[in-house]
């Protein structure tokens, strides 16, 4: 007779297994076996409900935080009297707020319901977006930008952790790409809307203020929807059946990354802080974000500097975002099916350096503005590899406290990069921005070296583990042991069944 999970949990604990993961609750009374079709139905349901929510949230966050760039192509700098480096600081101070909010947000996400925390964050930053419409000075703008970053700090780690809890390692890269695809798709319709708003006349407020009002209302409404539908973990997801919850937990447990444990373990935190692989992935994000910062905050100003009007500059950003969306989804697909993650990141980094070198050695001029515009669009395309780096963090670390620490470190370093890089874009160098482009080139060159280092480090560790503790597959007993090992809330370093995916 097949052993039910509620009896097996007791037996495993009596045998010394530390079934500490909260996902184990979903296995009580359920069979260990499921077929491929049952798994496919589950994944389709997850894709149908989870991915649209995360995509809408991610896309709206990008549009919200980059709305300042659209406002800058209109009249916000003139209306607020911004001068010198004040605009660059308005960009950077957002990341100070994000930096300050990252650690408490990750603690709340580990301890409490992920969906509720993310929903509250959305409503709060929607209110802050509405506050942008009322600013009349640099000080007020800096204040709302700081608060915007603080409240947005919960979204990315919440969505990243959820993807790792509901999908196995092979499925994650494509899912990260699918929900971050909105980062490149959402700007397209919104830039058209901003163009229409910018052409409005005889209205009581400047057009850029209406942009913030519209986005604030949309963000609040999305936060309300997330409150009711976004889950915490598979074992408590109300829109999954009891059987689907069990299958979801088993699938993830087999990959040894675990589901969730609300108890914070200092040992796991210290392991994350001393793990070289963690730091290499953090620096990958730091180096890659240099190009993204240019794309999000300065592409409109650069294009306007070529001699285009502010309204036309909004429209001319659309081709870059459209092409970048193809990059995001194709990269996620190929990484999932061809396992060339490291090579993809290296190729994109090389392309970014090449574009930067051309712009640096041949600064744009009014006569060559179309060629320069093409380079800016190409740069926007090749820098859209965030999903690959996020999937590295989701796939390659285990232990609930360690994963939350890794996410905290990742987004702290993300903030550091986005605080520092805008300061290299000096207003008096517009539109060439030679110092800024040189900074991005240097960061991307470092990105290539870091990629290669991480690749060989992970491959060497996997080879060592294959010799010490080779994996056994196809044996039912071994498969069951793998499931329970994945629910012991142990770290990737201590669990010799764990294999790194690079």
How far apart CA 26 and CA 29 sit, in angstroms, is: 8
Rounded (5°) CA angle 149-154-156: 95
pLDDT value at residue 256: 57
Sign of the C-alpha dihedral, residues 242, 244, 245, 247? positive
Q: How far apart are the first and last CA of the chain?
A: 41
194, 199, 204, 210 alpha-carbon torsion, rounded to 10°: 0
pLDDT value at residue 277: 92
Q: Are 183 and 384 in contact (CB under 8 A)?
A: yes
Q: Quick check: is 370 in a domain?
A: yes
Q: Are 341 and 459 in contact (CB under 8 A)?
A: no
pLDDT value at residue 119: 96
pLDDT value at residue 165: 85
Q: Are 408 and 157 in contact (CB under 8 A)?
A: yes
Q: Are 165 and 172 in contact (CB under 8 A)?
A: no
Q: Are 250 and 99 in contact (CB under 8 A)?
A: no
- What residues make up the domain containing 142? 52-232+254-485
3-class DSSP state of 72: helix
pLDDT value at residue 126: 95
Span 16-41, pLDDT tens digits:
444 444 545 555 555 557 778 888 99
Q: Are 147 and 187 in contact (CB under 8 A)?
A: no
pLDDT value at residue 270: 92
DSSP symbols for 273-340: HT-HHHHHHHHHHHHHHHHHHIIIIIHHHHHHHTT--HHHHHHHTHHHHHHHHHHHHHHHHHHHHH--
pLDDT value at residue 476: 46
| The pTM of the whole model exceeds 0.85 | no
Kindly report the backbone phi and psi dihedral angles of residue 306, in degrees, each rounded to the nearest multiple of 5, phi listed first: -80, -5
Closest CA to 184 of 417, 377, 389: 377
Q: Quick check: is 243 in a domain?
A: no
Instruction: Report long-range pairs for 267-273 (Cβ below 8 Å, ≥24 apart).
Output: 268/399, 268/400, 268/401, 268/402, 268/405, 268/491, 269/401, 269/402, 269/405, 271/399, 271/402, 271/491, 271/493, 272/397, 272/402, 272/405, 272/406, 272/409, 273/405, 273/409
CA Rg, the chain, in Å? 23
Q: Quick check: is 189 in a domain?
A: yes
pLDDT value at residue 146: 95
How far apart CA 443 and CA 157 sit, in angstroms, is: 24
Q: Quick check: is 119 in a domain?
A: yes
Q: Quick check: is 490 in a domain?
A: no
Domain count, the chain: 1
Q: Quick check: is 268 in a domain?
A: yes
Span 145-182, pLDDT tens digits:
999 999 999 998 899 889 888 988 778 878 888 888 88
For the chain, list residues with pLDDT below 70.
Answer: 1-32, 201, 254-262, 293-302, 305-307, 310, 331-387, 427, 430-432, 471-489
3-class DSSP state of 162: helix
How far apart CA 46 and CA 251 sit, in angstroms, is: 13
The DSSP letter of residue 4 is P
Q: Quick check: is 76 in a domain?
A: yes
Q: Quick check: is 390 in a domain?
A: yes
Q: For position 457, which CATH number holds?
A: 1.20.1250.20
Sign of the C-alpha dihedral, residues 449, 452, 456, 457? positive
3-class DSSP state of 364: coil
pLDDT value at residue 261: 62
């Amino acid at each position: 007779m097949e052993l039910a999970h509620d009896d097996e949990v007791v037996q495993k604990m009596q045998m010394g297994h530390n079934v500490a993961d909260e996902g184990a609750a979903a296995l009580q009374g359920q069979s260990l076996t499921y077929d491929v079709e049952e798994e496919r139905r589950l994944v389709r349901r997850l894709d149908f409900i989870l991915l649209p929510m995360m995509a809408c949230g991610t896309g709206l966050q990008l549009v919200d935080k980059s709305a300042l760039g659209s406002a800058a192509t209109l009249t916000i700098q003139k209306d607020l009297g911004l001068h010198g480096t004040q605009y660059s600081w308005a960009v950077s101070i957002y990341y100070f707020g994000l930096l300050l909010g990252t650690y408490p947000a990750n603690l709340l996400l580990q301890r409490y319901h992920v969906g509720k925390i993310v929903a509250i964050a959305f409503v709060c930053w929607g209110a802050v977006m509405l506050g942008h419409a009322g600013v009349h000075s640099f000080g007020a703008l800096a204040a709302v930008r700081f608060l915007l970053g603080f409240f947005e700090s919960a979204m990315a780690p919440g969505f990243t952790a959820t993807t790792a809890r509901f999908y196995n390692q092979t499925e994650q890269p494509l899912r990260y790409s699918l929900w971050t695809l909105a980062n490149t798709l959402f700007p397209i319709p919104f830039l058209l809307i901003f163009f229409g708003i910018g052409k409005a006349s005889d209205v009581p407020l400047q057009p850029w203020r209406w942009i913030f009002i519209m986005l604030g209302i949309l963000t609040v409404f999305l936060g309300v929807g997330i409150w009711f539908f976004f889950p915490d973990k598979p074992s408590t997801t109300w829109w999954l059946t009891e059987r689907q919850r069990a299958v979801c937990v088993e699938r993830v447990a087999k990959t040894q990354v675990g589901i969730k444990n609300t108890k914070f373990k200092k040992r796991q935190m210290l392991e994350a802080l001393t793990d070289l692989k963690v730091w290499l992935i953090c620096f990958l994000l730091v180096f890659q974000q240099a190009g993204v910062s240019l794309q999000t905050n300065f592409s409109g100003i650069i294009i306007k500097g070529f001699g285009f009007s502010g309204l036309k500059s909004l429209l001319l950003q659309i081709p870059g975002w459209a092409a970048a969306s193809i990059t995001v989804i194709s990269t996620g697909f190929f990484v999932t099916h061809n396992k060339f993650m490291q090579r993809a990141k290296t190729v994109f980094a090389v392309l970014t350096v090449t574009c930067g070198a051309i712009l640096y050695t041949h600064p744009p001029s009014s006569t060559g503005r179309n060629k320069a515009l093409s380079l800016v669009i190409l740069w926007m395309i090749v820098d859209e590899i965030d999903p690959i780096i996020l999937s590295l963090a989701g796939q390659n670390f285990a232990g609930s406290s360690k994963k939350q620490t890794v996410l905290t470190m990742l987004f702290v370093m993300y903030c550091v990069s986005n605080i520092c890089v805008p300061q290299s874009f000096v207003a008096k160098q517009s539109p060439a921005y030679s110092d800024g482009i040189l900074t991005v080139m240097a960061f991307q060159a470092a990105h290539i070296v870091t990629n290669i280092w991480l690749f060989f480090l992970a491959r060497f560790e996997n080879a060592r583990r294959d010799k010490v503790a080779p994996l056994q597959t196809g044996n039912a007993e071994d498969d069951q042991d793998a499931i329970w090992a994945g629910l012991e809330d142990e770290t990737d370093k201590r669990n010799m069944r764990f294999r790194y995916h690079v």
